[in-house]
């Protein structure tokens, strides 16, 4: 079972590695994806990056209306000019939440768990989740960007 790392931890501050299609379809990677989905659900999160479970690869999982999806090598290709306030928490920074400015709309490219390239659009909460998780892949935490941090629990998005 995967354990979610808590800041401070050097893996949370690492730039994670891109994966080739061959690496993605490898059964070991498929198992990691399955276990990341389980870890995300057990923690009641709506997104999780591999770095958060100690794996420095560019893999994220996102819980969506149609079920959890994995995205590999995700990157933003275009975004709205407009930035909006996102109220966020992070499974790796428990007991803290904050306001982060995020792009309202993004376009991104990623590979799915079969290694196929896909293009996506995201807006609102889903756009915030992608931006938060992609930051994790570059060793960036929301507390680095937050304009205001508050202690305590709040009904906010745990990513």
The span from the CA of 78 to the CA of 99, in Å, is: 22
Residue in the structure block whose two tokens are 């590979």: 111
Q: Is residue 159 within the footprint of Zn ion (CB under 5 A)?
A: yes
Taking the least distance from each CB to Zn ion, the nearer of 5 and 120 is: 5
The b-or-e profile of 85-120 (16+ CB within 10 A means b, else e) is ebbbbbbbbeebbbbbebbbbbebebbebebeeeeb
The span from the CA of 122 to the CA of 131, in Å, is: 10
Q: Is residue 48 within the footprint of Zn ion (CB under 5 A)?
A: no
User: Residue 53's Cα: distance from chain center in Å?
Assistant: 11
Q: Is residue 12 within the footprint of Zn ion (CB under 5 A)?
A: no
Report the nearest approach of Zn ion to the CB of residue 92 (Å). 5
Question: Which listed residue (24, 70, 90, 129) binds Zn ion by CB under 5 A?
Answer: 90
Question: DSSP string covering 48-82, please?
Answer: EEGGGGT--BSEEEEEETTEEEEEEEEEEEEE-S-
Q: Among the options 133, 147, 150, 158, which is catalytic?
A: 133
Taking the least distance from each CB to Zn ion, the nearer of 32 and 90 is: 90
- Residue 138: φ, ψ to 5°: -105, 15
Taking the least distance from each CB to Zn ion, the nearer of 32 and 93 is: 93
Q: Does the active-site annotation cover 150? A: no
Report the nearest approach of Zn ion to the CB of residue 5 (Å). 10
Tell me the number of residues near Zn ion by CB under 5 A: 2
Report the nearest approach of Zn ion to the CB of residue 159 (Å). 4
Task: Read off the DSSP letter of residue 57.
Answer: B
Stretch that binds Zn ion, among 25-33, 35-43, 58-66, 83-91 (CB under 5 A): 83-91
Active site residues: 133
Residues that bind Zn ion (CB under 5 A): 90, 159
């Amino acid at each position: 079972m995967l354990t979610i790392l808590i800041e401070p931890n050097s893996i949370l501050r690492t730039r994670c590695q891109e994966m080739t299609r061959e690496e993605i379809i490898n059964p070991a990677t498929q198992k990691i994806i399955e276990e990341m989905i389980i870890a995300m659900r057990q923690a009641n999160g709506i997104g999780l990056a591999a770095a958060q479970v100690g794996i420095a690869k560019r893999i994220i999982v996102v819980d969506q209306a149609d079920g959890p999806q994995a995205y590999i090598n995700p990157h933003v290709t275009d975004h709205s000019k407009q930035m909006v306030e996102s109220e966020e928490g992070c499974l790796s920074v428990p007991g803290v939440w904050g306001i982060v400015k995020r792009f309202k709309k993004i376009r991104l490219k990623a590979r799915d768990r079969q290694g196929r390239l896909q293009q996506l659009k995201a807006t609102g909460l889903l756009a915030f989740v992608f931006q938060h998780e992609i930051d994790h892949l570059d060793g960036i935490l929301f507390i680095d960007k937050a304009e205001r941090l508050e202690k305590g629990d709040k009904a906010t998005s745990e990513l």
